[in-house]
Chain A
Amino acid sequence: MKGFLGVDVGSVSTNLVVVDERGDVISLIYRRTQGQPINAVQQGIKELRESLPDDIEIIGVGTTGSARYLSGVMVGADIIKNEITAHAVAASHVVPQVKTVLEIGGQDSKIILLRDGIVIDFAMNTVCAAGTGSFLDHQATRLGIPIEEFGSYALKSSVSCMIAGRCSVFAESDMIHKQQMGYRMEDIIYGLCQALVRNYMNNLAKGKELAAPIVFQGGVAANAGMKKAFEEALQMEVIVPQHHHVMGAIGAALLARGTVRDGRTNFKGFEISSVDYQTRSFHCRGCENNCEIVKIQVEGKTLACWGGRCGKWEIASPDEVDLLVQAST
């Protein structure tokens, strides 16, 4: 059986997906990154191997997410793509006529507009992290409610409670204030969902033409309260795809499918889960910029470097990198 592997390492979650040649999901792993992307990828690969049929053959790999370069070097990616493109590809695969993608991840919120399967516009939050998964996570922990049940609490709300949602710090203090005033928990939680949707609409969707079908994806799409709040604000149906939480990884796998043509993949195999990766950073002395460069090594051999302004570290092949390190430090 042949499959394409997609790896999405984000701030909060690390997702791995294997899709078949038609693009259907064979297997998926969703786990917390916990600030350790290397470890998360290795553990994810190990779990994935166990969940896959024995005769699986990976014929293409793509990586995305904020650790896309790191994970790309580790797994031997055929394509490394930004998360905006990956999410657009996945959404238009699952809902072919999709025109609007709402995506809320751990640290980022995005909106992507497509027409005829082509991305025509997008935006990603720049100013404030309100309206992202980490904030909801934090509130769930603070209130002592498991994040999985957060949405169902919101749905129980009968009277909405207005929460100030411009910035997560103020949203939190306003929530606390409302609690101290004696508001019911479910009303506060739904009020929070509405505030996050308002924040999202004001920061990202402002001035953009949101047309149906609308797909809502990312970890936060699991929250039924958020879905309801979006539908209320948009006055339109919002579709949450079955694998909404791993759409980035699905997109990366689909992009790999589109890239690997002659059947030659760079995939390094499932064995990478037991390799000892080490990362070190140093200052490049190649010019006055003194950029901080990160290198990833296995048994003293450098696999790749990145982080400079000029791009020479990214362009260099593993064989040249060691020479470059000697010349520039």
Chain B
Amino acid sequence: MRVTTPHMGKLDRIFLDLFARTGIEYIAPPKTSARTLQLGVRYSPEFACLPLKVTIGNFIEALESGADTLLMAGGVGPCRFGYYAEIQKCVLEEAGYKFNMIVLEPPAAGWKLFIDTVKILAPGKSIYQIWQIIKVSFRKARIMDELEKYVLKYRAYEVNRGDTTKAYKKALDIIQPAMTNEEITQAAEEAFLILESVEKDMDRPVLKVGIVGEFFVLLEPFTNFDIEEYLGNMGVSLERSVYLTDWISPSSKNPVMGISDSEIAKAAKPYLNHFVGGEGLPSVGHTIIYAKEGLDGVIQLFPFTCMPDTIAKSILPQVSRDFDIPIISFVIDEQTGRAGIITRLEAFIDLLASRKKHKDRLQALGHGAHRRELARSGAAL
């Protein structure tokens, strides 16, 4: 059995670790590229969302490189993601590929189903052993997420552009081979040290921006045009509403992104008071929390035809007005051009920067000068 999974950020690293422990051969698909998307688009229904197209492309490329078992997550709730494993199976079979498909349904769909699937993936292991494996693997995954969180926050401050990105790659490679709990602790320390030793200028004025939206587009850099690295290079410090382990285990009490699900739901309540599938509710809730935390702006990313985040998008203008925080939404599919995104992003960052400058100036001038300044500022942006 040579198992493969679609790409989604560092997901391949997690499975590499997990399957090394259970003794199953794991083949990561080639990194998502324009070819992946091309293959995916060729076989997918046109109005399916981008994640389906990209993951089908991943599966095809993985089958080409020798995988024979496709592992895909299932799901419950209104988001059609839960149905994707079945669609992928139909699409790929119709296209003539030979494979086995294992659908990992979340425990919410029934514990027995979940455990039966996990047992296929860890032959000869007891439930207790599997639990231990998942625990240590998950711990490692969370450390990787914490590293990423650090990178998103501090890339903007680096003195030499590109240093953080290089250090991050090094840090991930240090943590990858660590297997035992002790090794992981040791590697984590080393990895953080590497990131912390990147030269930073903490006095530099940076903008702080929150990123919300649909998890696949947020987590998979290919589909979001590496927006985070691009913004970091522009000097924007980022917070993100979901990390890989937050998504895998959403009930976690200490999510990497820092806010519990109940807090998010509470924040969103005046605008959206029930689950609408996917990240619809979290997108609204996080935006409000980011606004309250005083972030300068929020960027929402989601795939074209994604119902939950489309609901969020229709609510966000009201949030933007009520909390006085600029929000920009990007709807992405295979027709989206990078140039268009970059132009709008640049303009959005300019908008945030001039707002901030204006606010700071008014504050420095004190209340009395407020009116005079308002009248004068009409001439200069």
A contacts, CB < 8 Å to B: 66, 81-85, 88-89, 92-93, 96-97, 116-122, 124, 126, 207, 258, 287-290, 309-312, 315
- CB of B343 within 8 A of CB of A96, answer no
Chain A residues with Cβ below 8 Å from B344 are: 82, 84, 124
Q: Are A116 and B226 in contact (CB under 8 A)?
A: no
A8 to B31: give the CA distance in the assembly, Å: 38
Q: Which 3 A-B pairs have the closest CB atoms?
A: A84-B347, A288-B31, A96-B378
Let me know if B379 and A92 touch, CB within 8 A: yes
Q: Does B233 contact A (CB under 8 A)?
A: yes
Find chain A residues with CB under 8 A from B354 CB: 118-119
A-B contacts, 28 listed (Cβ < 8 Å) = A81-B346, A81-B350, A82-B344, A82-B346, A84-B344, A84-B347, A85-B346, A85-B347, A85-B351, A85-B381, A92-B378, A97-B378, A117-B379, A118-B351, A118-B355, A119-B350, A120-B326, A120-B351, A124-B344, A124-B347, A126-B331, A258-B380, A290-B34, A309-B226, A310-B165, A310-B226, A311-B161, A315-B162
Question: What 0/1 readout, one digit per residue, does chain B (15-45) give for beta carbons within 8 Å of chain A?
Answer: 0000000000000001101100000000000
- A258 neighbours in B (Cβ, 8 Å): 380
Tally B residues with Cβ within 8 Å of A.
34
Question: Nearest Cβ distance between residue B347 and chain A, in whole angstroms?
Answer: 4
Once A84-B344, A310-B165, A310-B226 are accepted as A-B contacts, the answer to whether A96 and B350 lie under 8 Å apart by CB is no
Q: What CA separation (Å) do A83 and B326 show in the bound complex?
A: 19
B34, closest chain A residue (CB)? A290
- Which of B222, B233, B347, B380 makes the CB contact (< 8 A) with A311? B233
Q: How far is the CB of A209 from chain B (nearest CB, A)?
A: 9
Q: A82-B346, A122-B351, A310-B229 are known contacts. Are A315 and B377 too (CB-CB below 8 A)?
A: no
Residues of B within 8 A of A116 (CB): 358, 374, 377-378
For B233, the chain A residues whose CB sits under 8 A away are 311, 315
| Given A288-B30, A288-B31, A122 contacting B347 (CB threshold 8 A) | yes
Docked CA distance A210–B229 (Å): 35
Q: Does B138 contact A (CB under 8 A)?
A: no
Does B83 belong to the interface (CB within 8 Å)? no
A126 near B340 with CB under 8 A, answer: yes
Q: Which residues of A contact B339 (CB under 8 A)?
A: 66
Least CB distance, A264 to chain B, in whole angstroms: 22
**Given the contacts A207-B317, A289-B33, A85 and B326 also touching, CB distance less than 8 Å:** no
Instruction: Kindly list chain A residues whose C-beta atoms are within 8 Å of the C-beta of B229.
Output: 309-311
B222 — nearest CB in chain A belongs to which residue? A289
Min CB distance A260 to B, Å, is 15
Residues A118 and B30 in contact, CB atoms below 8 Å apart: no
Contact A82 B378 (CB under 8 A): no
Are A117 and B377 in touch, CB under 8 angstroms? Answer: yes
- Asked if A88 and B381 make an inter-chain contact with CB atoms under 8 angstroms apart, the answer reads yes
Question: Which among B33, B354, B378 has the highest number of chain A CB atoms within 10 Å?
Answer: B378
Q: Are B331 and A118 in contact (CB under 8 A)?
A: no
- Other than the given A119-B351, A315-B161, 11 more pairs (CB < 8 A) read A66-B339, A82-B347, A85-B346, A97-B378, A118-B351, A118-B377, A118-B381, A119-B350, A126-B331, A126-B340, A309-B226
A312 touches B326 (CB 8 A): no
A residues near B34, Cβ cutoff 8 Å: 290
Taking CB atoms, residues of chain B closer than 8 Å to A96 are 378-379
Using an 8 Å CB-CB cutoff, how does the interface string of B310-348 with A read, 1 for contact, 0 for none? Answer: 000000010000000010000100000001100110111
A139-B33 Cα distance, complex, nearest whole Å = 39
A311 touches B346 (CB 8 A): no
CB-CB contacts of B160-199 with A at 8 A, as 1s and 0s? Answer: 0110010000000000000000000000000000000000
CB atoms of A85 and B358 under 8 A apart: no
Chain A nearest CB: distance from B330 CB in Å?
Answer: 9
**Cα separation A122 to B233 with both chains bound (whole Å):** 23
Asked if B247 CB lies within 8 Å of chain A CBs, one says no
**A172 → B minimal CB distance (Å):** 21
A119 and B33 contacting across the interface, CB-CB below 8 Å: no
Contact among B222, B326, B340 for A121, CB-based, below 8 A:
B326
Rounded to whole angstroms, the CA-CA distance of A97 and B377 in the bound complex is 9
> What are the residues of chain B within 8 A of A289 when measuring CB–CB?
31, 33, 222
Contact check, B225 vs A309: say whether CB atoms are below 8 A apart: yes
* In the complex, residue of chain B having the shortest beta-carbon distance to the beta carbon of A311: B233
**A residues in contact with B275, CB < 8 Å:** none
Q: Which of A93, A119, A124 has the most CB of B within 10 A?
A: A119
B230 on the A face (CB < 8 A): yes
A93 contacts B379, C-beta separation under 8 Å: yes
Closest to A258 in B: B380
Least CB distance, B147 to chain A, in whole angstroms: 18
Given A124-B344, A126-B340, A311-B230, verify A119-B381 contact (CB < 8 Å): yes
For A88, the chain B residues whose CB sits under 8 A away are 381
CB neighbours of A124 from chain B (8 A): 340, 343-344, 347
The CA of A315 and the CA of B232, in the complex, are separated in Å by 13
Q: Which chain A residues border B346 with CB–CB below 8 Å?
A: 81-82, 84-85
Q: Smallest CB-CB separation from A307: which chain B residue?
A: B338
Which A residues touch B351, using CB under 8 A? 85, 118-122
Contacts of A309 in B (CB 8 A): 225-226, 229
Contact B381 A92 (CB under 8 A): yes
Residue of A nearest to B348 (CB): A122
CA distance A87 to B317 in the complex (A): 23
* Contacting residues, chain B, for A312 (C-beta < 8 A): 162
CA distance A207 to B161 in the complex (A): 39
A28 to chain B, nearest CB (A): 21
B348: A residues at CB distance < 8 A: 122
